[in-house]
Chains A and B, each alone.
Chain A
Amino acid sequence: NAGVMQNPRHLVRRRGQEARLRCSPMKGHSHVYWYRQLPEEGLKFMVYLQKENIIDESGMPKERFSAEFPKEGPSILRIQQVVRGDSAAYFCASSPQSSLMSSYEQYFGPGTRLTVT
């Protein structure tokens, strides 16, 4: 029973390049969340998606960042024209589709550590 999967685990990009981070939720889960963690800091919510829908993007920077969760395939977090301040660990989490309170449990992937040089 595979957990949340993310790839790549480590990504190095030069300033101005694009970064694409992928997340496959746990089997049976249809809700995906992206969080960013700066070194020595807590996790900050970025975006919440369901299949083909962005539900809440209130934590997403207005420029250069976008996210999608297509009908088929993983969720993608895309960062265009990366800058050094984008260097962080990006975690994806998933939860099941249900109206029950248990569906609020979020399980995290191993993260993608982005380094911008």
Chain B
Amino acid sequence: GENVEQHPSTLSVQEGDSAVIKCTYSDSASNYFPWYKQELGKRPQLIIDIRSNVGEKKDQRIAVTLNKTAKHFSLHITETQPEDSAVYFCAASTTGRRALTFGSGTRLQVQP
């Protein structure tokens, strides 16, 4: 089955800096890659996603890139703010099997 690895496990940046979180996946049939933000004690929130027919997608300060050949995708957050502090999860799924396989999460801390 699918295996998703996520790095780093923790990331501390200064307010205004950029943050990058990377994930790799094992199943070449995976074609949907969402990113979720989870604050302490809260639900995972879908913040951005990308499909395998697209190499990059941007939404304001966040962007996601996908390299199908290397089977990895990344989340980029620019101009980080303290409210960006949370745990971020990447995930992958394939057409027909909608179950999401999640990475282990990255705890992002933005220092004011």
**Number of B residues with CB within 8 Å of any CB on chain A:** 22
Q: Is the CB of A41 within 8 A of B99?
A: no
Q: Is the CB of B44 within 8 A of A43?
A: yes
In the bound assembly, the distance between CA atoms of A45 and B98 in angstroms comes to 10
* Chain B residues closer than 8 Å to A45, beta-carbon distance: 99-101
Q: Is the CB of A42 within 8 A of B105?
A: yes
Convert B89-108 into 0s and 1s, putting 1 for each residue whose CB lies closer than 8 angstroms to a CB of A: 10001000111111111000
Q: Is the CB of A42 within 8 A of B98?
A: no
Interface size range on A against B: 20 to 34
Q: Is the CB of B34 within 8 A of A105?
A: yes
Distance in angstroms from A55 CB to nearest chain B CB is 8
* Chain B residues closer than 8 Å to A58, beta-carbon distance: 1, 99
Distance in angstroms from A89 CB to nearest chain B CB is 9
Prevailing SS type, chain A contact patch: strand
Interface residues in B65-112 by Cβ distance below 8 A to A read: 89, 93, 97-105
In the bound assembly, the distance between CA atoms of A41 and B103 in angstroms comes to 9
Q: Does A110 contact B (CB under 8 A)?
A: yes
Distance in angstroms from A59 CB to nearest chain B CB is 7
Interface centre among B36, B49, B99 (most CB of A within 10 A): B99
Q: A101-B32, A104-B98, A106-B100 are in contact. Are A91 and B44 (CB under 8 A)?
A: yes
6 pairs, CB–CB < 8 Å, chain A vs chain B: A41-B104, A42-B102, A105-B46, A108-B46, A109-B43, A110-B42
A interface residues, Cβ below 8 angstroms from B: 31, 33, 35, 41-45, 48, 55-56, 58-59, 91, 95, 101, 104-111
